[in-house]
Amino acid sequence: MEEFELVQFLQSVGKDPARLIFEDELTKIYNRRFLFQYLESKVPWEHFNGNSLSLLMMDLDHFKSINDTFGHQVGDQALIWLSTHLKALAHDVGLPIRYAGDEFMLLLNDADKTSATKQAHRLIKQIHDDPFRPPGIKEDIHLTLSIGVATAPTDADNWKEFIQKADMALYLAKKRGRDQLADATEIYTDTISDKTALYRLEGIKIAGRGAQIAQINTALKEFRKNISQFVLIEGTAGMGKTEFLDTLRACTTGGRFLSVKAIGMPQEMYRPYYLSESIIVSLMQLQEDNGIEVLERLDTKERAFLSQVVPRLGRKEDVLPALDGPVLREAIFGTIIKFIFQAVGDQPLFLFVDDLHYADAATLLLIRRLMRKPEIRLFVIGTTVEAGEHGPDMPPGPLDRFMTTHGDELGLVHTTLTSLNADDINKHIQGLFPNIELPDGFIENIAAITQGNPLFLAEILRKLVLDHQITLVGQQWTLHPFEDGYLPSSMKEIVTEKIAAFGEDNRLLLDQVSVMGENVSLSMLVGGSEQMEARVLEFIDEAAAQGLLKSEFDLNDDTVRFLGKRILEITYNAIEPDRKEQLHEQIGTYQEGLYQKLQASAASLAYHFKRSTDKKKAETYEHIQAQTNKRTFNPEEALSYSGVIPPEALLEEEPLS
């Protein structure tokens, strides 16, 4: 594989390559994907050396009225008209970007605050001087802009805060009456308290996890003695397992060790080595040369073995040797071990696996083998549901058997995320809104309603913020009085209320995300929905503001997921059965096209078609996956070469060499 092809492969894993573009489909200017990648990889955030970077974030005032009055076609023409002005202004000074919906940006290189403000005023004047007149409309439509201005490093020292400050400035301009600009230095938290509160909800973690962190620290002390560790973080739905895992991972970024995250997927649960594939790809992405040197150390046979797990790593000259089943399967296992050894070297490896209860048996045995080898220092931290929490679509699987058989041997550490008590809830709310005035009995009431469930607590706080019940009065956070019965009594009630408030188009996209499952790439969501990317981004932003979804930028794509498994479950169960079957078939059909390009697995196709009306296709892909499974992994044989039992103890087989 050539270096360019390898980079292309690593950047498109789990995504739709046809959708990984940097141009907005409607306006033909840069899109949000370009902006994120540019800010993350091209801007020297730690070494500006006296230079400045400015961002103008803007939207068309009262744009919804254009769509409502003249129709979406005229609305689209208005967006193209605005993008034309941006391109003209940006010709010499910056980069025009469509962020989402009617939100646009202008990124100004080597522009300080004074220069950026000047360009913003110039743009507002251009919009005033050149009214919008679409074909077929006799009169001009006078549109105006609100603009927020942020400058780095003055206003922010990282790209996420940079966008956040521009967004808050834009919000301030709109609150002042629109058709004007506001500067990030003018932001007063009491002036835009609801926007400030929403950002605070995203930034501070749940309190009351001291005991669990203490257990992790104990395991870390053992790890420093070169003893590999395996920690399982258990908890019921809504206990914040994913957030806790992400917090732990943030502590292992940038040190003298490697940190890899993988995610268990129910669609892939019985496909051998699917988690290993994710680990291999992540390790390659961590290498300065994208893993080329590690691959070059493998001979042609070994690369052929590795391509059985990561097909796109194979080369034309890497011909798979004609080996019988047991020898081939052992060779595949051994090659993965060798690859990981060479990719890790003498650095400690932290492996974070969310939803480990969806892990495949082959990867679990691989992890066990790695932990038993003194040459590698491995710290595995995985999240899983508590015993008895398996749903109808998730019977006890490989992890349960693995824990029973090997838990004691590996010194498995269990830590459980428990419900929050009233003191934890009070500390969390005070951390979000310092010195907030709360009425007597409020904390006890919240504790009783939520039963200490962090996800439910977060949803209630978001409702209070969105409904302007929590605001800044002067410099004091205040909870305003509300009527009895205002607070929802269950997670289902609050999520159902949010879903009902969505328009039909947004509801269709939300249904699709829930059918696709957790951690959906934006490119896959756009491809499966056949919507323009900017429209999907607008939906994601609205769903995120409502506390249903969140998105995270990863390489050149966003990853979209529900804020909690319980929200996903409620959303999925709210879909009408016929509609659910139709969506599974739509997604399965879409992924069939990707399957030919090795961007989707037969296991995923079988999963979706099994839940549609096309049972014939489900059987076809189940058969294909079964044949692949048979070729790559046999759990009984693996007990030998994974080091669980000696080869001579397997009476059915001759001892393996």
For the residues 290-316, what does the mean pLDDT come to?
88
Q: How far apart are CA 238 and CA 461, in angstroms?
A: 15
Q: How far apart are CA 538 and CA 274, in angstroms?
A: 32
What residues have CB less than 8 Å from 341, skipping those under 6 apart?
375, 376
pLDDT of residue 545: 92
Whether the pLDDT of residue 656 is over 50: the answer is no
Please report which confidence band the pLDDT of residue 587 belongs to, taking 50, 70 and 90 as the band edges: very high
8 Å CB contact between 43 and 53: yes
pLDDT of residue 254: 63
Q: How far apart are CA 219 and CA 381, in angstroms?
A: 10
Please report which confidence band the pLDDT of residue 647 belongs to, taking 50, 70 and 90 as the band edges: very low
Place of tokens 């399965």: 588
Whether the pLDDT of residue 592 is over 90: the answer is yes
Instruction: Give, as one character, the DSSP assignment of residue 272.
Output: T
pLDDT of residue 118: 95
The side-by-side arrangement of strands in the sheet containing 549-554 is 520-521, 557-562, 549-554
Q: How far apart are CA 279 and CA 364, in angstroms?
A: 12
**pLDDT single digits (tens) 606-639:** 999 999 999 999 999 999 999 999 999 998 888 8
Could you count the other beta carbons within 10 Å of the beta carbon of residue 468?
11
Q: How far apart are CA 72 and CA 503, in angstroms?
A: 15
Question: Higher-confidence residue: 6 or 331?
Answer: 331
Whether the pLDDT of residue 261 is over 90: the answer is yes
pLDDT of residue 49: 86
Could you count the other beta carbons within 10 Å of the beta carbon of residue 8?
14
Whether the pLDDT of residue 396 is over 70: the answer is no
Q: How far apart are CA 517 and CA 403, in angstroms?
A: 26
Q: How far apart are CA 517 and CA 531, in angstroms?
A: 19
What mean pLDDT is reported for the chain? 90
Give just the sign of the alpha carbon dihedral 182, 188, 191, 193. positive
* Exposed / middle / buried, residue 609 (Cβ in 10 Å: 0-12, 13-18, 19+): buried
Give just the sign of the alpha carbon dihedral 347, 353, 356, 362. negative
Place of tokens 């796109």: 312
pLDDT of residue 390: 53
The side-by-side arrangement of strands in the sheet containing 53-60 is 30-31, 94-100, 103-109, 53-60, 145-152, 181-183
8 Å CB contact between 605 and 621: yes
Tokens read off for 77: 């023409």
Whether the pLDDT of residue 651 is over 60: the answer is no
Please report which confidence band the pLDDT of residue 554 belongs to, taking 50, 70 and 90 as the band edges: confident
**Percent of the chain scoring above 90 in pLDDT:** 72
pLDDT of residue 650: 39
**pLDDT single digits (tens) 19-41:** 999 999 999 999 999 999 999 99
Intra-chain end-to-end CA distance of the chain, in Å: 31
pLDDT of residue 655: 44
What residues have CB less than 8 Å from 431, skipping those under 6 apart?
204, 207
For the residues 337-363, what does the mean pLDDT come to?
95
pLDDT of residue 623: 96
What residues have CB less than 8 Å from 587, skipping those under 6 apart?
512, 515, 516, 528, 608
Alpha helices in 360-441 (DSSP H): 361-371, 398-406, 422-432
Rounded to 5°, angle at Cα 276 from 597 and 226? 155
8 Å CB contact between 475 and 197: no
Could you count the other beta carbons within 10 Å of the beta carbon of residue 535?
18
8 Å CB contact between 621 and 609: yes
Residues in the chain: 657
Tokens read off for 436: 């907030």
Question: Higher-confidence residue: 277 or 394?
Answer: 277
Tokens read off for 642: 């994974």
8 Å CB contact between 274 and 601: yes
For the residues 296-300, what does the mean pLDDT come to?
90
For the whole model, what pTM was predicted? 0.90
Could you count the other beta carbons within 10 Å of the beta carbon of residue 200?
18
**pLDDT single digits (tens) 115-143:** 999 999 999 999 999 989 888 887 888 89
Tokens read off for 377: 């220092």
The percent of the chain in helix, strand and coil, each rounded to the nearest 5, is: 50, 15, 35
Whether the pLDDT of residue 203 is over 90: the answer is no
- With b meaning 16 or more CB within 10 Å and e meaning fewer, what string describes 378-401? bbbbbbbbeeeeeeeeeeebbbee
Q: How far apart are CA 536 and CA 509, in angstroms?
A: 8
Q: How far apart are CA 589 and CA 90, in angstroms?
A: 41
pLDDT of residue 387: 66
pLDDT of residue 163: 96
pLDDT of residue 652: 44
